[in-house]
Structure formats: structure tokens, C-alpha cells
Structure 1
Amino acid sequence: MPDWINILLRSLFALAYLFLLAKVIGKRQIRQVTYIEYIVGITFGSIAAFIATDLEGNLVHGIIALTVFGLFPIVTEWLSIKSKRLRDFFEGRGTVLIKHGKVMEDSLKQERLTIDDLLEQLRAKNVFKVADVEFAVMEPSGEISVLLKAENQPLTAKKAGLSVAPVTEPQTVIMDGVIMDEPLATVGLSRSWLKTELTKIGVAQENVFLGQVDETGQLYLDLYDDKIQVPPPQTDKLTFAELKKCQADLELFALSTQTNTAKKQYEMMAGQLQDVIDQVKPLLTR
């Protein structure tokens, strides 16, 4: 067998085995690299290169070495789950770099960071003043987590005392011009409903790059041709406007009638409808 074919086959085998080991180790090695996983990742490449190019080397020996290094992070992870001390030993612990707006110089020296490195990481978190930071912690992964002081945190609906509608995951019902039946069924809709909506908008199914339906049944489309403007859904806003109109009509009836009984009934119904409007406003005016 020619050497180039042998190298090709050994390379494909090493690649397939590395892929299998990566699947066994799991997504964590990609998401967060610990000390052990960093060592294993470097060693994987060296051993795989040996398997692929060293034609005189024993292929089985290379596979055994890969297996040992592949199983090692699995074992250490299992031990880390069982013991907090071992977890701190294998993965390290977070280091407080800023506390109450004060930079911890000793912590910077411990992590071998300069103040420029720290400021760069803060700017990556959209923080430009150290004094605005309550806590900043360097995680074992090397990422820096930042907690702003209360007065510098973004205003949320909860802090403002506002009620907002719950948000659920939108379902992708069209992808690359193809209707996805399972997401449609998840939101309780059918192909006929979707085709009717496309007809209303005047868009052909094959021209839709992406179509999504939110929890209220609103259809959002992204077309292949970016020059075509798709009108945004107006159902929620029209419903809210219709409710407001009905409530205004009831108040008008109460003012125009001369019968006290009818006036009280109209006023009561107008008040009840106003309560309904206040409850559904977060849902219909997003």
C-alpha cells in the first residue's frame, strides 16, 4: 500500500476516534476548559498526529494513549462532582478582583493580571468605571463575571413595578422555504392556517427564508429578498384598539342615556371592560 494512502486511512481513523472521544467527554470541554481539559486537548492533537504520520509506530499504542487521555477528564469530572475539595483542586476557584468598587491588587498578582487586562475585560462587559462595580470575580474558566452596584444596574420592569407578559420560545414554522410540521403542532396550528396567513401577506412559501410564530400566534417572516418589506403583524394592536373603542362606546352610552338604571349598567360594564384592558395591555402592546 502506498504511504500516502496509509497516511490518509490512519488520519481518517484518528479523526473519527477523536470525534467519538469528544462526544463521550461531552460539551463541557468545548464550553469551559479546565486545567485537565486544557492538557488533554493539547495532548490529543499530538497523539493524533503521531497516529496519522508515524507509519512505523504501533497504531494500537496510539489508540490506547488516546483512550487513557480521553477517559481521564471523565474520571476527574466524576470525582469533582463527588467532592468539593477535589473540584477546587482540579478546576480551581473563583478569585475576587474587585470588591465594593475597590480593586484587589493582591488578587491581580495572584492571577498574573495587569490593570490593563482587568480594564479590558471590564470594557468587554460594557463597564468603563471601576467605581461602578460591586463585585468582579475571575471564574475558573478565565472569564470575569461583573456585578454592578445597585444604582448602576439597568432598569427592569420588576424594579419599575410594571407587569409584563410572560415570554415563551417562538416556534420556527418555515425554514428555507419548507414548512416544519412539528413546531406548528406545538403551538396548535396547521398548514392550512399558515398558508392562509402567507396568502394574506402576499408571500409565496418558497420565498420565505425563515418564519416564526410567537406565543400569541403572530407570524414573523424573513424573506430571501431583503428588498421586499413584510408588514409587521398588527393583530394584537388592532385587538387592543377595538377593546378601547368598545370601552369608550360604553362610556358614551352612559353619558347619553337618560335612564338611571341603564346609565349604571353602562358605567359598570365600562369599568369591567377597563379592568380587562388593563390586564391584557402587556400582552397586546408589546
Structure 2
Amino acid sequence: MTDATNQTQTYEAQMGDYFALMKPRVMQLVVFTALVGLLVAPVGVNPFIGFVAILCIAVGAGASGALNMWWDADIDAVMKRTAKRPIPSGAVQPGEALGIGLALSGFAIVLLFLATNALAAGLLAFTIFFYAVVYSMWLKRSTPQNIVIGGAAGAFPPMIGWAVATGSVSIESVLMFMLIFMWTPPHFWALALFVKSDYGDAGVPMLTETHGRTVTRKHIIAYCVPLVGVALWLGFTSIGGPFYLLVALALNIWFLKGCYDIWQRTDADSEADNHAVEKHTFKVSLYYLFGHFGALMVEALFRANGLTAWAGW
């Protein structure tokens, strides 16, 4: 930790400062995908138990964010994008963030275990450990593939939701995991291509910094192609269906076209139009993930009302 992480508080921390530690924007995606994993499972869950489970997953995600901010406070203070976060800004002390992260982790894991089952609680515990230790403390500062391997932490929520309902892991939950896991690199790297990053100054080996933008463009298309296969495969499982496949087909053509266009561009092309294609593809990537999980939820509603149009599905 650098001296930047030990700034003297200039005012008493507010509730909003502590909430910001939990990365609420990331938490939204976690809650949504976990909820879908819970709802598409073939076993029904008592609504109150379901609410408690999603709350625990959200709190666990928040705990991971707090632990990440505690560990990364030194590099957050260096980068313009993160300099106003609670710790480098002096609103919250590092020790407070660590204490909050650990306390929330314990609360979420124990309560999920008591309310549901050991597998769901174990997956949540591993997710927090993976994000806080494997990604934040090791991968992020040691390899340009950090976002690839570390992306697993964000891919576990639907698997946890499925485990809450079924107490098991299945091909359906694994494919939901793989959908997010394979989506994360092209999504993040599309953003990295047009954001003026200061990761280099902070000593973080992001791919755009270590290998350049041309290599990053090749990696984007390399991950997007198998992502299409995973997304379509999910449509032929017990939680898929004709509606999902139609949505997935449209979204994958749209996203693959954007990734292909990025691959074909040069730095000069990007500078000439102010990274228009990269910015557009990044926006498409947001619709892509929410669209797939939203379509899975619609399929679950169809099945619940006996409306599945796929004979023998």
C-alpha cells in the first residue's frame, strides 16, 4: 500500500461512501444473472427463501467489491478513473473497507448456508475468494490475461442461483457460467480500446498496454467466435427454447459483426472516427448479455404457463 491509501479523512464517511465500496453497478449484473439462474431452475423455491438467497448473493458481491477496493487502493489512487473511490479520496479508511468486506462475506456465506444448502454457500464463498484473492491479489497485477481468468468471478452468480434451487450443478448452470465467462473478455477489451487508460502508469498489465491494440483486436474476435457456440448451445438445453434461440441468433450476429469490424480496423481507422465502431460494439455487448438472460427468463415463464412451443422440449 502506498501513502495515497492512508490519507487523513477530511470529513466523516457517509452511508453512500460505504455503499460505493460494494461497487453497486457490478452488483446489478450479479443480482440479475443470479435471479435468472434461480428462476430457470426446474425446482421451485419458496419466494422468501429466494429473496434471502438473492440478498446473500448481492451482499457477497458487495463484500468482494469492498475487499477489491481495499487491496487496490494504491493503484486506484494513481488512476484518474478510480481516484475518487472511497479509499483514495479519503472518505473511507483501508482498515474500514477490509473489516466491512470480511464481515459481509461471513454474513452472506453463513446466511446462504442456513437458508439454502452447502453447495450454494460454498460456491458463493469460492466466488468471493476468487475475486478478492485470485484475481485482485494475484492475476490483476501479474498477467495480461487477468480479465480472462478473473472473469470467472462474475460468471458464478447464475450457477449459485441454480444451486440454491436444485442443490446441484448441471450442464445448464455450467453453460450460463460459460456464457458470462466467454463474454467478459470481448466486452472489456472493446471498452479498453477506446478508453484512455492509465493502467500502464499504475503497473497493471492490461492487454492493450502489454501487447498493443492490434493484438487486442485479434483476441476480441478469438473469444467472440466460441462465445457464439456457447450461447446457441444453451438454447438446446432444458432451459432454452425457440424464443431464446431467436433472440440468441439475432444478438450473436449483431455482436459477432461488431467484433469482426473491430478486428479489421487499424489504430488509424479508430482515431479517424473517434473509436465509433469500438464504442458501438461495447454498447452491443451490454445488450448481448442482458438479452440472453432475459430470453432465458421469458422461456421459464412460457414453461410455467404451459406455453412452450417446442415439441418435446
Please classify the TM superposition score into its range, dividing by the shorter chain length: under 0.3
- Relative contact order, CA 8 A, sep 6+: which one is greater? 2
Using the size of structure 2 for normalisation, the TM-score is 0.20
Bigger-Rg structure (1/2): 1
More helix by share: 2
Higher strand share: 1
Q: TM-score, normalised by structure 1?
A: 0.22
